[in-house]
Structure 1
Amino acid sequence: MKFIKRINIFNTIESTKMMIFLIIFVFLVLIFLGRMIYVSYTYYRDTMVIQQEQHLLTIAKSTARNLELFVVGKADNLKIIAGNPKFQKRLNVFVKDGIAQPDISSIKAFYEVQKKEIQSVALYDDKGKLIYHCSGGASVKISEQLYNSVDSGNDDVNYVLKTQQSYIGSVYQGIRGDFVFNILQPVFYKERFIGILVATINLNTLYNHLVKPVKVGKKGYVMVKDKKGIILMHPVKEQIGTHVIIKRKEKYPGLNFTELKNLIKRQLTGKEGTAVYHSYWWPDSKLVMVKKLTGFAPAHIGDDFWIVAAPMSYEEIADPIKENLLSTLLIAGGFIIIFSSCIFLIIKIQKNKEALEIKTKYLKELNEKAEELRKSEAQLQHSQKIQTIGTLTGGIAHEFNNLLTPILGYAELMLKDLSQENYWYEDINEIYEAAKKSKELIKQILIFSHRDNNKHYKPVKINELIKETLKLMKSILPSNIDIIENFEDCGYILANPTQINQVIFNLCTNAYDAMKKQGGLLEISMHLIDKDDENILNNEDFSSKKYVKISVKDTGCGMKEKIMHQIFDPFFTTKAVGEGTGLGLSVVHGIVASHNGKIFVESKIGKGSVFNVYFPQMEGQYVDLQNNNNIVLKGDETILLIDDDPSIVNMMKKRLEKLGYKIIAQTNSLKALKIFKKNPPRFQLIITDQTMHHLNGIGVAEKAKAIYPEIKVILMTGFVNEPVKDYINSPLIDDYIIKPVLLNELSQKIRRVLMVNQQND
């Protein structure tokens, strides 16, 4: 009972710790996701506003162009009439002698065709006297009595009498109260000025024909004002003819016109543009300040210009933006729930495993047979947990390491900037230590679930590694077993040193089990071979040219052929119950496969067995900088840093700059390559993330090496998959590092790569 109580107390304490850790972790994830959502929201909002502003500008420019084309078209029509020889001759006779009427048939025909768009057409003689007027369907000869009742636009006529040039007049209010403007065309006969043709355009007609049909959102509209700020066209008739600021301010003295004044000031310069501002919807009965978008462009009418503006409500684009934000929040919330559940499940599985081991130990003390039953159940549960962890960790390991990178990096930066007496030093150190533990936890889970995938491989001097392992074996093997070593210098392999130790240790232990009763000879040999020299390699899918062959040979009892086919299966063992788990050679096989290697066994009953392991050799020479893993090395080279996560880029930039490096950081891989292409020798090293938008890290390395083969490349990744492992042995990648990155690891990687470069130079 006391033992069970101790178990319950232990479980309670561990559960509390795990819950606190989970809460802290979820809180940090929430902060990170909140920032990402805010950045995404602001980017989407700004993009929508810019796109809508450009759309409004297009509407304003299109309407302005239509107005210009309309006026130019009518002016061209008048030129055609004025250039008619028959019309010129008859008008000349009338002006000169007064004995014949001018030919007005072409004027009447022009008006009949254009009367929906032109208010009137008039003809003046060379003295400025109105001699013919066509308006409202009536064509009349002008008498002295009618002269003063016709809207003649004398200022425009006098201007043409003086200049004898085509002219488009300013807008003025006609005798009917409508706002109009004139298009005037001088008439010549044999280069002698004889009269003026005048077409009067009603702005209300022009508005209904060209401007009013243009739709701008649900509540917006298109309006036109002249270069003095007088409104010429507007959906509210009362606004027409008033100054856009002065008259409105007189009518509504309590309204705020500050932003509208600034906008009108920009518009009156005659340049096109867009704006976001606060104003009022003048057609509304109750005026309330609202936020608007507008695009505006000048319409050049004669020597003057009008301003065409297309305002619309900001709320019409704000609603889709809010809907997008809500969708993003729902997706993020779902991700947090799923991610937290996965983490909680992993922690719970780990806690259950520890509790199960304690209970198994207790039951073993009570009854050996009961312990055997528990052991079988534990093996089954172990297999199920490996499968569960493998499924879960494969999907979340990469994202988890990306999230840990800024947490670990910024905590490390803050620790270096703070003294140990600082109030926050201990708290930040706790965050840093927790992040390191999380990093190691992911490593162990991946290894345990057979999803390590080269997650922490590095160039390893294989001879030294094997010799260190054999030192341990010599100290534990009995004296009746002799060890013979037969090594040649095999250079480097890309490996996890701990796992290689585990392979050699398990193979030697297996040989010991075969010889422990009678003793014997254990021979470990290592040779460098060409792929073509080994027939067995030609029958397998081997990609490297040279391989390191490690042989572990014993003079034990040997194995039957049937057993040889089963020895790498999980939980297969020939030992008595309680003496082995059947996992040793299964683990060896998994480790060798994860190193792109192969393992083969040969055995004869009564003669012994030999295990041959093949690992691909790495090309080139490597400088060993790992005598002290805690050393942080500095430098002064220029490094191009690429990662599409801004938080990771900012954090790593700060860390590397503190080490003395000159950092050019980019979150867009294509832009980074453009910078590199401008001056490749400027950079000594590229540090790039593998998984990025536009172009991944392998792609960046390939293009950079094509531009400048001397450049060195370090690849960063959340996990190393098979394609990346293949590239490690190629000239594209000089080294790689796994997120989250510790400063000492990163600094040593950089110096190792750059020192190799200097040695080659």
Structure 2
Amino acid sequence: METQWSKGKIMRAAAVVLVAVMFGFGLLANGIWRNYRDAVLDRQKEQMLLTAESVSRTLEVSVQRSAADLDRFCTLTEAAYEDPEMEPVSGELIRSYIDEYDNFVTGVIVQAPGGTVKMNTQGVEVARVLDEDMVNDSVELAQTLGTDGRIYLLLREQTNRGDTISLVIDADSYYQSLISDIQLGENGYIMVKNSQGAVLMHPVKEQLGYNAVGDRKEMYHVEDLSSLENMLQAQYEGKTGVQVYDSYWWQDPNLPKVTKISAYTPANIGGDFLIISAVMDYDDVYMPVLQGFQSIIGVMVLMFAAIAVVIGVCARLVLQRQEASEEIAYLRDLNDILQKMKRSEETIAHQQRLQIMGTMTGGIAHEFNNLLTPIMGYADILMMELPEGSEEYDNVSEIYDAAEKAKEIIQQLSTLSRRNMETAFKELSVRTVLTRAVKMVRSVCPVNVQVEEQFGEELNILGNRTQINQVILNICVNAIHAIGDREGTICIREGSVSSGELAARHQLAETPRAWKRFAQVDIEDNGCGMTKEVLDQIFDPFFTTKKNGKGTGLGLSLVEQIVNSHKGYIFAESQVGKGSVFHLYFPVLEEQEAENGRTPGMETAESGRGLDGAPASGELSPHSILIVHRNAKVLRLLEKNFAKVGFAVTSCMDFNEALEALASGTFDIMAAEEYVDGAGAVDFFMSVKGLYKDMVRVVIVDRVSREVLEAKQREIIDGYTESPVSVPGILGAARR
């Protein structure tokens, strides 16, 4: 079976390895693809930026050359004014320059000082001036939109006589001659804007003169141009760079949305600049690279798919062979399990029925006892008041006898859920117990282990000496094993801590309010220590770190049970390589602060009502009793009955009231219901035993439980009586 399972594990491991390899290859391919894509895009961006810079330099040179020509024209014009015979020559020279020398300077405009046009070779009329700035000290560049919708760059200079000569550069002619033939991908282009964002040169004529953002929104009815605006902000600042942004193909009537790459640089013209922007479709670069990689990935996927199919077929054959061999063993085990389940189902069902019956009978017994208590109590009162032998007395006696028989039946039902325990608790001196325990530990310690003790104040607890010795010995034996063959020390310390400090130190939700202080016993060693995982399991039954069957795993589990049975706490701390420390806490038995000098006498006078409830002719000597019960009717009944036999009765409905009553007076007897509002009478009596040593302590129970028997044998309580509660029952328990 192990061999077959190991084959299955190998197959699964092979599949995992294949998946891991595929995943790793995918990551590697993705990394290569990203690096290659980025490298291609970077090269393309560099080329686009070089193109934009080349156009920028050409435009700068063209404007500077035209400005120099304009200077010469102005010089000739000044000479013509001085020699009238030269003026025709100046006009002829201008027309010759336009026709032959420059193919994008398409005209000249000469204006008189008043603005009268003396010459306009092309007939250009300006509709709107987009921007103006000085090229040099004498030449001004005006960017204008003509009435014919074309963009004209006017280089203007004023002569000494006040005439203004303007060279007209047709932006569209310049664009078609020097820029439009530059190819950038399938749809790319180069555009020129001024520093305010107005379009001066663009393949789409309708956009000339419009702002790159604001006018486009109105023209094309688009709203989201935030990506374009972010890029234009850098251009308006005169920066050089390359940026990817979202925009539209303005030359396409359908206006498709597209991601573009723009390489931009300024063309410096005097104190201002024009923006040269080379624009390209991002997909023109990205898609060819992506398609190539997709083809490669497709081939790799097919290859790995074929490998996976082969591995899958092999794994299937191995699994089929394994399943065939396991099926027989599985069916055999299944048959055995079914037989065991069939046998155990009846046992489990029977145990569940018994458990349900035990739970139900406990509740039924409690309710019936509450009903029988007033019946028997008031019948007892009537019998005390009626003359014995009368018909009324006999009738009430019949009621009392019937209630007694019902009580016996309830007690028989209650035995279904009883448990017993035999362990005696006594008042112990912590120092005495530890001194003897240290001697025991030293007797089992090897020579390499030293035992140290540090004792504090004298403290008394209520406990079992043998069990506490067992707790200390078990922990110290574990410490000896943890130290091993090297030199080590076990330190046993005694101290005390308040209940509040205990709760804060170990983050307890709450501590029993009945105890103000706890005796603290710390057992510390410098052994090998424990990991957190081991520390979390040390109190689990059958958990052990010892090898070769040397440990049962029950030692610390038993230690925890013993400490809990003493109403105490146990905690452990450990660090690997430094050692461990166990903190033990036991409730301190507080001593009575002042002797009250009273010992309750339960004896009756020669005449009086006996414990069996029969009336007598005398009265009891005076006593006081404190009764705690959650049923107000039961309290009223007991108050009446105890008052009739001469007791001073104080009744309380919870243990807080009982504490106040004990603080304000002394009592011979205290009888308390076993549980009142979640608080236990045994715990309460254990907490006050040292303060009220002469007070007889009686617990009223529905059924005798293990805890009650344990408390009786440990002398935490003096007696118990079963419900339905009565005066004879409480007095009988007190006398016993």
TM-score of the two chains, using structure 2 as the length reference: 0.38
> Between Structure 1 and Structure 2, whose CA radius of gyration is higher?
2
